[in-house]
């Protein structure tokens, strides 16, 4: 059983936004038990070493936990390991996700159907399964928080927003140019938003705060390219935003999709 530290489990935590969330939490004056979820333990250990070398005075403890959210056996083992070691979970950050849009032939090895199915399975179905598995550990906490990471591109209302880099103008005629970038990813996150809404409904009489975060367009390489040139911001900004949500600074926005400075329209 854990002591007084708030226990946080971040999936997909050895790289990208997940890494920045762990890094931000480790720099907080509040002490945490941070469980670094990773598919490959050695990569999680490397991430921990780097974070600890940057902040030797951290009050938090970091440990790896192997989990592949698309693998039920891996999910079950992670649940059993965390149950045995800690007995509860204060915060689950459903961060693991990705896109297979750039793997479609002829540039990649997948068919369009394979790409969409893989993306939806990872971002929507697997996130839902992980959440359901860990609810009992969250209910054992005195201050349970359930976080989801969505996307600014998932908004139905903003589909036609020309300011988004993934909404370029499309000329008339057929075939169309390759302008539907990351559509599989966007659709999967829109689907995940529905999953989040249903968890809000299911948990409305339980003490778990359900928080859905749109961290901004981050330079994490999710699109398979150097997206900083397209206006993406430093991922540490997203990491600190998620830390603030974990620490209760946006509790009033539970049940919505929250951006750093506003509520994202559905």
CATH number, position 97:
3.40.50.720
Model confidence, pTM: 0.93
Name the β-bridge partners of 36.
10, 64
- Please indicate, yes or no, if residue 195 is contained in any of the structural domains: yes
Q: 249 catalytic, yes or no?
A: no
Please report whether residue 265 resides in a domain: no
Q: Is 185 a catalytic residue?
A: yes
The total domain count for the chain is 1
Per the domain annotation, does 264 fall within a domain? Answer: no
Whether 158 is covered by a domain: the verdict is yes
Tally the C-alpha atoms within 13 A of residue 262's C-alpha that lie toward its C-beta.
Answer: 5
| 247 lies in some domain | yes
Q: 99, 189, 214, 243: which is the annotated catalytic residue?
A: 189
Domain assignment of residue 161, yes or no: yes
Structural domain including 107 reads: 6-258
Tens-binned pLDDT, residue by residue, of the chain (266 aa): 446 799 999 999 999 999 999 999 999 999 999 999 999 999 999 999 999 999 999 999 999 999 999 999 999 999 999 999 999 999 999 999 999 998 999 889 999 999 999 999 999 999 999 999 999 999 999 999 999 999 999 999 999 888 777 788 888 999 887 656 789 999 999 999 999 999 999 999 999 999 999 998 766 766 545 565 556 678 899 999 999 999 999 999 999 999 999 999 99
- Of the residues 151, 154, 188, 214, only one is catalytic, namely 151
The question of whether 60 is a catalytic residue gets the answer no
| Per annotation, catalytic residue among 141, 185, 209, 243 | 185
């Amino acid at each position: 059983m854990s002591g007084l530290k708030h226990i946080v489990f971040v999936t997909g935590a050895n790289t990208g936004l997940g890494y920045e969330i762990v890094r931000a939490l480790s720099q907080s004056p509040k002490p945490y038990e941070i469980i670094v979820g990773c598919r490959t333990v050695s990569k999680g250990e490397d991430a921990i070493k780097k974070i600890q070398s940057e902040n030797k005075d951290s009050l938090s403890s970091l440990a790896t936990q192997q989990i592949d959210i698309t693998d039920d056996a891996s999910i079950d083992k992670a649940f059993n390991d965390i149950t045995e070691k800690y007995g509860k979970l204060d915060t689950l950050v459903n961060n693991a996700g990705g896109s297979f849009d750039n793997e479609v032939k002829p540039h990649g090895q997948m068919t369009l159907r394979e790409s969409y199915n893989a993306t939806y399975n990872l971002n929507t179905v697997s996130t839902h399964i992980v959440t359901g598995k860990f609810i009992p550990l969250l209910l054992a906490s005195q201050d349970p928080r359930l976080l989801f990471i969505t996307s600014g591109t998932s908004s139905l209302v903003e589909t036609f927003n020309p300011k988004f880099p993934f909404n370029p103008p499309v000329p008339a005629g057929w075939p169309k140019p390759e302008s539907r970038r990351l559509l599989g990813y966007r659709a999967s996150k829109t689907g995940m938003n529905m999953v989040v809404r249903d968890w809000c409904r299911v948990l409305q009489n339980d003490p778990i705060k359900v928080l859905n975060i749109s961290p901004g367009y981050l330079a994490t390489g999710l699109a398979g390219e150097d997206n900083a040139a397209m206006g993406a911001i430093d991922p540490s900004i997203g990491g600190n935003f998620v830390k603030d949500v974990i620490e209760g600074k946006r509790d009033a926005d539970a049940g919505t999709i929250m951006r750093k400075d506003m509520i994202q329209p559905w």
